[in-house]
Amino acid sequence: MIKCPFCQTPHVDGTLFCSECGTYLLEDDQRGTDPLGTSEIGWVGAPMDDPDTADGYRGTGPLAIRFSIGDHKRVVEIPLNKAIHLGRLDPASDVFPEIDLTNDGGLEKGVSRRHARVLKREGIVVVEDLGSINGTFVNGKRLAPYLPETLNSGDTLQIGRLLIDIELRA
C-alpha cells in the first residue's frame, strides 16, 4: 500500500494518481521545481528601493533562510534579500508567493493564498502574518496580524496547520 502525500488516502502499489485529489504519486516527481542551493541562485536585479526590501542582501544578520516544510520536510533555501511570501499559488487572483505551499497540503491545512511573509529588518529576521484566516504561529504562539515577530534558528513556524522548521544561514 502507498499513501497519497497530499490527502493521505491509501492506494494499491503502482497507482500513479490519487483518485481523491489527483496528486501524482511517484515519489521522485520530477515535474515540480527542484529547490536550488543558495550558491546557484544569482541575484536578479537590485530591488533596493522596493518597499518589500528590508536591509538588502549586504546588510548585517543572516544571509539566507532554510524552510523544512510539512511532514515530508521539503527543504527550501532562499536568500534574505527581499521579503519572502508564503501562501498558495493562484494565478487567477494574481497571487504568486515565493513559497507556494499548495503541494504541501496547503489547502487542507488552511493556508491562505496570501498568508505570511518573512523578511530581514535591521539584521533581524521577522515573520508577519498577512491577515490570514487560520493564523500564523511561532513556537505555538499565534501572531497578531501585521505585527512582525522575530524568527530564530530552530523555531517552528506554523502556517494554518502546516508546520515549518526554520534555520537561519549566516
Partner 1 sequence: MVSHATIHATDNEQACYVMLEISPSKNLPTSRLPLNLCLVLDKSTSMQGIRLQQVKEATRQIIDYLQPEDTLSLVVFSDKAEVLFPGQKNVDKALAKSVASTIQPSGGTEMLQGLLAGLNEIQSNRTDMSVNHIILLTDGRTYGDDDECIKQAEWAGLNQISFSTMGIGADWNEDLLEKMADASGGTSTYIDSPRRIVESFKATVRELSTIVAREVSLALDLAPNVALHEAFQIAPHIRRLEINANNTIALGPLGTNNRKIIVIELRVTHATRGKLKLLQLHVSGDVPTQSAGASAEWQDVSVNVTDEADGEVVIPPVIITALGKLAIYKMQEKAMEDMEAGNVIAATQRLETMATRLLNLGETELARAALLEAGRLARTGSLSSEGRKKIRYGTRNLSILPKEL
Q: Which span sits near partner 1 by CB under 8 A: 68-76, 87-95, 116-124, 129-137? A: 87-95
Q: Does 95 bind partner 1 (CB under 8 A)?
A: no
Q: Which span sits near partner 1 by CB under 8 A: 10-18, 36-44, 69-77, 116-124? A: 10-18
Q: How far apart are CA 161 and CA 164, in angstroms?
A: 10
Q: Does 94 bind partner 1 (CB under 8 A)?
A: no
> How many angstroms separate the first and last alpha carbons of the chain?
42
State the cell numbers at 62.
Answer: 543572516
Q: Closest separation between CB of residue 70 and partner 1, Å?
A: 16
Query: Cβ of 2: how many Cβ atoms within 10 Å?
Result: 15
If binding means CB under 8 A, how many residues of this protein chain bind partner 1?
23
Q: Closest separation between CB of residue 14 and partner 1, Å?
A: 4
State the cell numbers at 143.
Answer: 501572531
| Residues numbered 16-55 forming contacts with partner 1, rule: CB under 8 A | 16-22, 24, 26
Q: Does 96 bind partner 1 (CB under 8 A)?
A: no
Q: Which span sits near partner 1 by CB under 8 A: 46-54, 101-109, 120-128, 136-144? A: 101-109
Tallying the residues shown for the chain, one arrives at 170
Residue with cell 511561532: 138
Residue with cell 483518485: 19
Q: How far apart are CA 142 and CA 138, in angstroms?
A: 7
Query: Are 88 and 53 contacting, i.e. CB atoms less than 8 angstroms apart?
Result: no
User: Which residues of the chain form contacts with partner 1 (CB under 8 A)?
Assistant: 1, 11-22, 24, 26, 88-92, 102, 107-108
